[in-house]
Structure 1
Amino acid sequence: MTTTFADLGLSDSILKALEKTTLKMPSPIQVQAIPHIMAGKDLMGLAQTGTGKTAAFGLPLLHRILDLGHPPAPKTVRALILAPTRELVSQIADNLEIFTKGTAVKVAMVVGGASLFKQAEKLKRGADILVATPGRLIDLLERGDVSLHATGYLVLDEADHMLDMGFIHSLRKIAKHIPLKRQTLLFSATMPKDIEELAETYLQNPIKVQVAPPGKPVERIDQGVHYLPNGDKALVLKEYLLKHPGEQALVFGRTKHGSEKLMKLLVAWGFKAGSIHGNKSQNQRDRTLTEFRNAELDVLVATDVAARGIDIPGVRYVYNYDMPNVPENYVHRIGRTARAGKEGTSISFCAPAEMGELQAVEKLLKKTIPVLGGAPWAADVVAAAPKPGQNRGQRPGQGRGGQKAGSQPIQRAAPGKPGAKPQGKPKPAGGNFAPRRSEGAAKPRAAGNRTPR
């Protein structure tokens, strides 16, 4: 028997709003989660991005808030939804605005990179639902611009990514402002030990719902890996992109600086490319994402800030220009393709220093990724590879060892082998786009200054 939204007990006003959306039938995560949330239970939901998690927690929250029948007090918040990135916060808020059309429910969002004064002014009137990044919310709490003393609902969306980005201290600080008597919902695509501990800390006898094995990528995605030095990655990426002109591609780099330089290089080569990362303002990121969604850009270069929750149906290809240093992020990256029943392709570039990251990904997937080019790096090559941050001296477009694009690769003899020539002071191998410390793995700082927000 097919379950409908009406079968889940949602109010007539919400059902009426849903009629004007593309949501006709509830997804598996919505069927499982909504009844428990409506009953006031704490819940831990395990589901990959793109499965309808926002509606799974948003619709029952709206139902319960509508039952209150009166507006929130000034500066107070009834329900708080925390998400790790500005893009995800914006997407959640946009969806909630659609669901609340025609009702008196007020939805607000606060993120870094936008006017703190304007956000504080909006919160003066109070909000039924506040969607926020942790850093900016702490800024507003410390200024006294918002109060969580009347917050009865707390939602942690993409909780695993929040932990990856070092937001655990921010979560602890925020939780102190929220009453212990509350309903807490935690949604995550993976279930590492840290998430289990987080659930034990903040959830009371939670109901656990799961619609797909954590970490399992979409089956419709063709995956492959290309083994090559860092200095060759840009040219090989160019060759791949030229094979599918007019089809959109998402390229993931590890660092803000490297992603920006790669984007500029692609533009110089004639590609319609843009970039989003933590150094971009919120307006810049929103504008670039809009251009990509509208097919005004063919290539979007991004750090892992774009890997979670961003639904861009036109993306056919995902390139892991740098391997992610958190294996679960691989699943989220490639999940940006094969959306809405379509097929997709994921191609990863693996340099010698990234063999460990690739092996961690394959361990998570419980399978070996097919080889598209090159061969797995030998242990001695991996051991001799420059560590992250050591190969920054190469200009864009150069091949390995710093030679110009299109020149013959420099053949380097291994130490101790016959024919080895003295090379003087060794030069850094690889290129500007070598893996360095991840944008999301920043050193701990004051919670109020954390980026991205």
Structure 2
Amino acid sequence: MNDHEIAAPLAAALAAKGYASLTSVQQAVLTPDATGRDLLVSAQTGSGKTVGFGLAMASDILDDGQLPLGGLPVALAIAPTRELALQVARELGWLYAQTGAQIATCVGGMDFRTERRALDRGAQIVVGTPGRLRDHLERASLDLSTLRACVLDEADEMLDLGFREDLEFILQAAPADRRTLMFSATVPPAIAKLATEFQRDALRVVATGEARQHGDIAYRAASVTQRDRENAIFNLLRFHDARTAIVFCKTRANVNHLLARMGNRGFRAVALSGELSQQERTHALQALRDGRAQVCIATDVAARGIDLPGLDLVIHADLPTNSETLLHRSGRTGRAGSKGISALIVTPADYKKAQRLLQGARVTAEWGKAPSADEVRARDDARMLDHPALTADPGDEAEAADRLLERFGASQVAAAFARLWREGRPVPEELADAPTPGAPSAPRARGDFSDAAWFSLSVGHTGRAEARWLLPKICEAGGITRDAIGAIRVRENESFVQIAAAMAPRFGPVTEIEPGLVMRRIDGEPADDRAPRPRAPAPRRSAASEPSHPPRWQPLADADSPSAAKYGAKKPGPGKFAAGKQGARKYRAEDAPPEQADARPATPRPKRAPAAAAGARRTTKPAGGAARPQRPGKPRGPGKPPRR
């Protein structure tokens, strides 16, 4: 640390915390090139970014080693979640303790009036979430006119959560000559665009080791059957026995379900999801910090950026949606040089997805099976034998130990000690044997099922059975993949499936896949006794049954004929524009084909009555009756024909 210019109060705080050296990201932001410039920093999670930007902005906000005594803030740190904002405030609190710093937090879920009073008392450093900071700005309880440095922590996550408009509003309220530091685990195009808008000549900083993502984290992929997903999680927790572990789920419903299951099995677990109030979330994190809880079950957003002491194990109960989320989840462990394990629970249906996630994250996982019940018990026995109480000096308990040995004997006392050791721990679960996938294999060639075994299933077409419905059920029942299944033949009342010889012993003579669906082994290939389905001949239409429509070109018959009444014919007449166009020919009967020349006699249309004067009532005389009065038309004015 002596190679970098660090303010004396901050150097003393680092020494008191036991810092012997700085991490790569902390060193990168203190180089001469980075001093006084806007920074766009990308570094892996858990690399000490909070202390890094605390050191980086010290040269901008400290005057002779002390913070100014004015009533307005000089530094602002923005974080995506409440937990991360409170964690940043705690880190900056001990780092700037000797500078007389007053730190105020503005996060959602807390009392707005309490935050406002803290701002009114004069806070030099403000830490908050985007939404609550904007509320304070709009209500004039936060003034950024004297701001010197602004930090955006986990900027990529804030954009993913939809805080772009809030960030723009906050940054526009700050002075233009401020120093802006953006810290992000990844730098997607959206972050780069935000940097060009709100930073001036920003220096791009890539911390050493970013290409080697999470070198202190050991990745494990546990292959389990679908029905053993939760049991595998329980055995992983029991096998590693981490001081603190976190289990990630996709949804809040999955979090609540898994929390109930763990509570029934005796695990000390708490939940962390968006539906909890701020007080409940704070109590859950405090229970993890003081040891009252050992397991945290959380969603991705709720656990973003939290730092828990002694967190040695991360379990992905549900696979993340992308590689970035995988890195962010795993980054909760292996922080500041400590070692950690990130375990993925992978069912046969998720093999390819897990391989894509690991490849996209540029990490290599060790594939294997989840710890069995015997392995968990063996690890428990090893811990019991290594317990320090067995090697410590008896001390004041020597007399009680002698009485126990004298009354019960050494064997009985040792057995009681073993039982007491195991009583306080959840019982390990028995797991079905699951296949362990290796590298992605090429598609198998057809014809390698010559010595395969055949099984019958008690459902067929009458039970609406389909191959795509039967395939996953068979795979789950035997713990096999689809590559071990050959032909599936669905009959009327039963179905047949072909299983590779190597995987056939996984199924007994009779296997109940689910209630009402039984799978039995048969000898040899079933006979193809399917009878062809009778196909009814297509009905043939007779000439008499088809309506005799006239051809499109044929003129309709006379209006008085029966065919004209059937098809709604009208009496023919000259065309509308036949008399108005020069050289136009009227339709004549001799124009029709010779065989139908007499089918439509040329009957002239009755002459139209002359137009009446404007405003007069017009009458028409039907063919066989007196004149019929018409509705009076609206006067149209001179020179316009009457409304028809």
Please give the TM-score of this superposition, normalised by the length of structure 2. Answer: 0.55
Name the residue aligned to 2:90.
94
Q: How big is the shift at 1:274?
A: 0.8
Aligned with 2:281 (options 282, 285, 297):
285
Equivalent position amino acid for 1:13 in 2 = P
Name the residue aligned to 1:107.
103
Name the residue aligned to 2:530.
none
SS in 2 for 1:19: helix
Q: How does 1:335-354 map to 2 (within 5 A)?
A: 335-351=331-347
- Quote the Cα distance in structure 1 between the aligned partners of 2:134 and 2:278: 18
Name the residue aligned to 1:385.
none
Tell me if the contact between 1:89 and 1:109 (Cα under 8 Å) persists in the aligned partners.
yes
Name the residue aligned to 2:7.
11
SS in 2 for 1:325: coil
Name the residue aligned to 1:71.
69
Q: Deviations over 1:204-226 (max 9, x none)?
A: 11122222454743223221223
Aligned with 2:58 (options 39, 42, 62):
62
Aligned with 1:141 (options 132, 137, 142):
137
Q: How big is the shift at 1:250?
A: 1.2
Q: How does 1:195-214 map to 2 (within 5 A)?
A: 195-214=191-210
Name the CA shift for 1:202/1:359 in 2 (closer, same or farther; >3 Å). farther
Equivalent position amino acid for 1:141 in 2 = L
Out of 319-328 and 216-225, give the one that drifted further. 216-225
SS in 1 for 2:14: helix
- Quote the Cα distance in structure 2 between the aligned partners of 1:149 and 1:360: 48
- Quote the Cα distance in structure 2 between the aligned partners of 1:77 and 1:37: 26
Q: Deviations over 1:353-403 (max 9, x none)?
A: 75675354223233553432446699xxxxxxxxxxxxxxxxxxxxxx99x
Tell me if the contact between 1:189 and 1:214 (Cα under 8 Å) persists in the aligned partners.
no
SS in 1 for 2:22: coil
- Quote the Cα distance in structure 2 between the aligned partners of 1:237 and 1:38: 45
- Quote the Cα distance in structure 2 between the aligned partners of 1:13 and 1:138: 32
- Quote the Cα distance in structure 2 between the aligned partners of 1:8 and 1:246: 37
Equivalent position amino acid for 1:118 in 2 = T
Aligned with 1:172 (options 168, 172, 182):
168
Name the residue aligned to 2:621.
none
Aligned with 1:418 (options 489, 492, 501):
489
Aligned with 1:294 (options 290, 297, 300):
290
Out of 177-186 and 223-232, give the one that drifted further. 223-232
Name the residue aligned to 1:309.
305
- Quote the Cα distance in structure 1 between the aligned partners of 2:319 and 2:46: 22
Name the CA shift for 1:245/1:154 in 2 (closer, same or farther; >3 Å). closer
Name the CA shift for 1:18/1:337 in 2 (closer, same or farther; >3 Å). closer
Q: Deviations over 1:245-282 (max 9, x none)?
A: 46432111122232122112211111111111222222
Tell me if the contact between 1:86 and 1:133 (Cα under 8 Å) persists in the aligned partners.
yes
- Quote the Cα distance in structure 1 between the aligned partners of 2:218 and 2:277: 34
- Quote the Cα distance in structure 2 between the aligned partners of 1:194 and 1:221: 28
Name the CA shift for 1:332/1:150 in 2 (closer, same or farther; >3 Å). same
Name the residue aligned to 1:267.
263
Tell me if the contact between 2:74 and 2:149 (Cα under 8 Å) persists in the aligned partners.
yes
Equivalent position amino acid for 1:19 in 2 = A
Aligned with 1:85 (options 75, 81, 85):
81
Q: Does 1:46 align with 2:42?
A: yes
Out of 14-23 and 130-139, give the one that drifted further. 14-23
Tell me if the contact between 1:317 and 1:346 (Cα under 8 Å) persists in the aligned partners.
yes
Name the CA shift for 1:420/1:96 in 2 (closer, same or farther; >3 Å). farther
Q: How big is the shift at 1:408?
A: 7.2
Name the residue aligned to 2:147.
151
Name the CA shift for 1:367/1:106 in 2 (closer, same or farther; >3 Å). closer
Equivalent position amino acid for 1:30 in 2 = Q
Q: How big is the shift at 1:186?
A: 0.8
Q: Deviations over 1:411-435 (max 9, x none)?
A: 9x99x93258999xxxxxxxxxxxx
Aligned with 2:244 (options 221, 245, 248):
248
- Quote the Cα distance in structure 1 between the aligned partners of 2:326 and 2:188: 15
SS in 1 for 2:98: coil
Q: Deviations over 1:55-97 (max 9, x none)?
A: 2111242343221863233xx4321111111121111111111
- Quote the Cα distance in structure 2 between the aligned partners of 1:422 and 1:186: 66
Q: Deviations over 1:186-216 (max 9, x none)?
A: 1112222222222222221112222245474
Equivalent position amino acid for 2:201 in 1 = N
Q: How big is the shift at 1:290?
A: 2.1
- Quote the Cα distance in structure 2 between the aligned partners of 1:42 and 1:134: 20
Equivalent position amino acid for 1:71 in 2 = L
SS in 1 for 2:30: helix
Q: How many residues align?
A: 393
Q: Does 1:189 align with 2:260?
A: no
Q: How big is the shift at 1:156?
A: 0.8
- Quote the Cα distance in structure 2 between the aligned partners of 1:19 and 1:324: 38
Q: How big is the shift at 1:54?
A: 1.4
Name the CA shift for 1:11/1:222 in 2 (closer, same or farther; >3 Å). closer
- Quote the Cα distance in structure 1 between the aligned partners of 2:144 and 2:171: 9
SS in 2 for 1:179: coil
- Quote the Cα distance in structure 2 between the aligned partners of 1:143 and 1:359: 50
Tell me if the contact between 1:216 and 1:365 (Cα under 8 Å) persists in the aligned partners.
no
Name the CA shift for 1:69/1:313 in 2 (closer, same or farther; >3 Å). closer
Name the CA shift for 1:240/1:11 in 2 (closer, same or farther; >3 Å). closer
Equivalent position amino acid for 2:130 in 1 = P
Q: Does 1:117 align with 2:113?
A: yes
Give ranges in structure 2 of 5+ residues lacking alignment. Answer: 370-434, 442-471, 495-644
Name the CA shift for 1:139/1:298 in 2 (closer, same or farther; >3 Å). same
Out of 100-109 and 263-272, give the one that drifted further. 100-109
Name the CA shift for 1:37/1:116 in 2 (closer, same or farther; >3 Å). farther
Give ranges in structure 1 of 5+ residues lacking alignment. Answer: 379-400, 424-453
Equivalent position amino acid for 1:291 in 2 = A
Out of 83-92 and 38-47, give the one that drifted further. 38-47
Equivalent position amino acid for 1:90 in 2 = L
Name the CA shift for 1:151/1:36 in 2 (closer, same or farther; >3 Å). farther
Name the residue aligned to 1:395.
none
Please give the TM-score of this superposition, normalised by the length of structure 1. Answer: 0.76
Tell me if the contact between 2:67 and 2:101 (Cα under 8 Å) persists in the aligned partners.
no
Q: How does 1:301-380 map to 2 (within 5 A)?
A: 301-305=297-301, 307-351=303-347, 358-366=354-362, 369-373=365-369, 374=435
Higher relative contact order by CA 8 Å / sep ≥ 6: 1 or 2?
A: 1
RMSD: 3.4
Name the residue aligned to 2:528.
none
- Quote the Cα distance in structure 1 between the aligned partners of 2:110 and 2:27: 36
- Quote the Cα distance in structure 1 between the aligned partners of 2:363 and 2:146: 48
SS in 2 for 1:236: helix
SS in 1 for 2:488: coil
Name the CA shift for 1:175/1:55 in 2 (closer, same or farther; >3 Å). same
Q: Deviations over 1:7-39 (max 9, x none)?
A: 422332333333322223222222220245973
